[in-house]
């Protein structure tokens, strides 16, 4: 397969159109007709390629904890990013995230991977400042133009945040993988963590779930075009507005939903906060087509691994729909924010989110006093 540079389009401020691989340069949008499908390189792509949560905990167990007076958030609670204090009013938020392809188009893969990495900073209430590319690419198996497209997609998403890419690192490896190391800034007195949930807080989810099922369905040719396009657009959407709203409303606790699924990340938040989180599964927004795929048996392997992780500390309602149970365990890539909001601020938060581009934002449950289990799927 080969990829050749086409003649540039006329200069225009318009963004790329769906179905065409493009990248911006000096005010113009260039496009390359791509004949290489990145999904042919992977079985598990996106955040579904993460190590299972239980295995990760096992690997980290017993490692000496690094203590420092200015290290405000470390790996102990498996939060979204680390936070290091510089002054009384300034701290750095640092994170890294990369994974194999989650979609066919390289430019869109770059966008999604970048949005996913940047999300960790937004989940902490921070603002991205700089980013560094992390790329693994097989130079002799896939045309190098594909790598250029991946990097261009990532750069476009970083530019959307106002941050800058300052460098990166590449190695020769198959299948390809891409992501970012991101540094952001935050007021150390206003850090949002996954340990701050309190009984009475309401749970708001900013994006629909089901991306893992949609990606699996796409590989199996079981998803129609509009459903796949909607899932890609959802994954490419930044959590920037969600982070701004949390800061404005004084939210204390949040996390972004990625490879461990809604249930897995909610469980980590519940345990870290010492509460029980109750999720009303019928209220959880779903990507179009995701329920039908899972109900028909298209369930990614990561969903079963996530279910295994949450089962010991989760109470499932006896009448809970099996497809909804598995969708709550579906590995998300560049998913939404799960935020804990005071009851009297819920309506305002949802209005702000929907007006800010998160049309499917919804209240899906609440935090309660710690019960027998840390998580309830009702």
d(CA 225, CA 42): 20
H-run or E-run covering 292: helix 290-295
Annotated active-site residue in 47, 103, 328, 340 = 47
What pairing do the DSSP bridges indicate for beta strands 82-87 and 71-73? antiparallel
d(CA 254, CA 229): 27
d(CA 46, CA 333): 6
d(CA 82, CA 51): 19
**Is 234 noted as a catalytic residue in this protein?**
no
H-run or E-run covering 168: strand 164-171
- For residue 95, list its beta bridge partners: 182
Bond from prior residue into 317 cis (ω within 30 degrees of 0): no
What token pair was written down for 342?
Answer: 């005071």
- State the first-to-last Cα distance of the chain, in angstroms, to the nearest integer: 50
Q: How does DSSP classify residue 277? A: E
What token pair was written down for 52?
Answer: 């299972």
φ/ψ of residue 331, rounded to 5: -70, 125
d(CA 155, CA 114): 8
Do the Cβ atoms of 332 and 47 come closer than 8 Å?
yes
CB atoms within 10 A of CB 32: 21
d(CA 199, CA 342): 10
Coil, strand or helix: which one is 209? strand
Do the Cβ atoms of 363 and 263 come closer than 8 Å?
no
Helix boundaries (H) for 124-282? 144-161, 211-219, 225-236, 240-249, 261-273
Active site residues: 47
């Amino acid at each position: 397969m080969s990829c050749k540079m086409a003649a540039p389009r006329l200069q225009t401020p318009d963004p790329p159109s769906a179905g065409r691989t493009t990248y911006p340069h000096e005010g113009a949008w260039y496009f390359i007709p791509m004949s290489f499908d990145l999904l042919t390189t992977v079985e598990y792509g996106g955040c579904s390629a993460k190590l299972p949560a239980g295995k990760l905990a096992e690997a980290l167990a017993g490692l000496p904890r690094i203590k420092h007076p200015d290290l405000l958030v470390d790996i102990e609670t498996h939060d979204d990013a680390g936070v290091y204090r510089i002054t009384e009013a300034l701290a750095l938020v640092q994170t890294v995230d990369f994974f194999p392809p989650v979609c066919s188009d390289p430019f869109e893969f770059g966008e999604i991977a970048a949005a996913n990495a940047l999300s960790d900073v937004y989940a902490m209430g921070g603002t991205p400042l700089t980013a560094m590319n992390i790329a693994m690419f097989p130079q002799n198996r896939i045309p190098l133009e594909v790598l250029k497209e991946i990097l261009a997609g990532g750069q476009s998403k970083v530019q959307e945040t106002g941050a800058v890419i300052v460098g990166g690192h590449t190695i020769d490896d198959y299948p390809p993988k891409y992501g970012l190391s991101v540094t952001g800034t935050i007021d150390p007195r206003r850090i949002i963590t996954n340990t701050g949930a309190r009984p009475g807080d309401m749970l708001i989810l900013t994006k629909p779930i089901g991306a893992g099922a949609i990606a699996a369905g796409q590989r199996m040719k079981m998803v129609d075009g509009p459903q796949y396009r909607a899932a890609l657009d959802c994954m490419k959407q930044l959590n920037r507005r969600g982070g701004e709203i949390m800061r404005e409303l004084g939210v204390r606790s949040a996390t972004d939903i990625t490879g461990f699924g809604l249930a897995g990340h909610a469980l980590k938040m519940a345990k870290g906060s010492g509460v029980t989180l109750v999720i009303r599964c019928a209220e959880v927004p779903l990507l179009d087509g995701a329920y039908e795929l899972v109900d028909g048996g298209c369930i990614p392997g990561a969903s079963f691994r996530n279910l295994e992780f949450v089962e010991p500390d989760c109470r499932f309602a006896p009448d809970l729909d099996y497809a909804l149970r598995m969708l709550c365990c579906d590995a998300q890539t560049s998913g939404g924010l799960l935020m804990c909001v005071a009851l009297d601020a819920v309506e305002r938060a949802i209005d702000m989110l929907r007006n800010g581009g998160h049309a499917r934002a919804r209240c899906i449950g609440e935090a309660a006093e710690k019960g027998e289990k840390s998580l309830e799927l009702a």
